[in-house]
Amino acid sequence: MTVIPDLHLREALAETAEKLLDRHIETAQEWHPHTYIPWSAAADFPEGYEWSPEEANVPSAVRSALFVNVLTEDNLPYYFRDIERMMGREGAWGEWVRRWTAEEGRHGIVINGYLMATRSLDPVELERGRMAQVQSGQVPEPPSLTEGLAYVTLQELATRISHFNTGNMLDDPAGKAVMRRVAADENLHYLFYRDAMQAIFEIDPSAAVIAVNKQVQEFKMPGTGIPGFAAHAKAIAEAGIYDFAIHHDKILKPVVLRDWAIESIEGLSPEAEEAREALVTQIGRIGMLGHRLAERRQKRAAAQSDREPVSA
């Protein structure tokens, strides 16, 4: 997809980007993947080794989340390509792109290291998935800086939540620490993008509303090129790691409705007013659907619990 350069926006937001970059560098903590990986749990993989789920005490839905999360991180080359296309290589924007890329690279390193040391996933399936994912080169491609910032704001927050919730479901302190460390980075990335997008709302609120509406209507988490992605996404939702209810309650309401205050913006163009109406309606629909599905899931879980035999 061709990306509109948006050079006027890059220039108009140059000072904002510099301030946000400085804030990020002052806030971000240096950390090293090797200190988070439980090397003492590792062992050689003998010739002819075949993985079994019994090797790791990880529920299947959590394995799905780990599989999707790490392969999403491994697809970094294509994310970098499109982020740089939108933001350019010069000035604070370019510095941010390179800093973001370096930090994201650590995520794949530390999660992969943890998975190999603990044998939480089948290493053969994981590597085949990585090859397929990276070779497919499938990533969301917003066509402009405005739409790109709208998308990455939602996506980075969604990724933070997914990583954190996955870690919470790991019965392993090292695994929790890995996923929380990565989630903390993703939160800082989200804050950069959220506040950069806020600046666009101040410069051109109509364009911002139209962009957010389009990205909310079409939003998809990264991972569409991952083998078996639909089944993994379903398992992740069923486990309550990331679903429509979370998307509504933890992302759309606090960011779009509260932080960007989409409903109270004045002076919008007719097209933007139409987009705002569609956006608010869609957020409401996602919320109703999400909570309905969550209630059904809870009922299924309760029924399953009632059918399970009681131990003597």
Q: Give me the mean pLDDT over the 44-64 stretch.
A: 92
Sorted by where each starts, the structural domains of the chain and their CATH numbers stand as 7-42+57-304 (1.10.620.20)
Whether 286 has a pLDDT exceeding 70, the answer reads yes
Distance CA 93, CA 99 (A): 10
The pLDDT assigned to 253 comes to 97
The model's confidence at residue 79, banded by pLDDT at 50, 70 and 90, is very high
The model's confidence at residue 2, banded by pLDDT at 50, 70 and 90, is low
The pLDDT assigned to 111 comes to 98
Helix residue spans in 240-269 (DSSP H): 244-246
State the average pLDDT for the chain. Answer: 92
- Cβ burial of 84 (10 Å; 0-12, 13-18, 19+) is middle
Q: Give me the mean pLDDT over the 264-282 stretch.
A: 97
Whether 312 has a pLDDT exceeding 60, the answer reads no
Q: Is 310 helix (H, G, I), strand (E, B) or coil?
A: coil
Q: Give the DSSP H or E segment for 78.
A: helix 76-87
The pLDDT assigned to 225 comes to 78
Whether 245 has a pLDDT exceeding 70, the answer reads yes
The pLDDT assigned to 82 comes to 92
**Nearest to 155, CA basis, from 92, 210, 82, 91:** 82
CB atoms within 10 A of CB 30: 4
> Model-level pTM?
0.93
Q: At what angle do helices 145-168 and 173-203 cross, to 10 degrees?
A: 160
Q: Give me the mean pLDDT over the 155-181 stretch.
A: 96
Distance CA 94, CA 107 (A): 21
**Nearest to 3, CA basis, from 83, 78, 76:** 83
Question: Lowest mean pLDDT: which of 32-41, 53-62, 110-119?
Answer: 53-62
Q: Cβ(182)–Cβ(163) under 8 Å?
A: yes
Distance CA 77, CA 299 (A): 42
**Nearest to 133, CA basis, from 75, 220, 81:** 75
The pLDDT assigned to 309 comes to 64
Whether 1 has a pLDDT exceeding 80, the answer reads no
Distance CA 96, CA 296 (A): 43
Sequence-distant (6+) residues with CB within 8 A of 118 are 38, 41, 42, 56, 172, 174, 175
3-state DSSP helix/strand/coil % of the chain, to nearest 5: 75, 0, 25
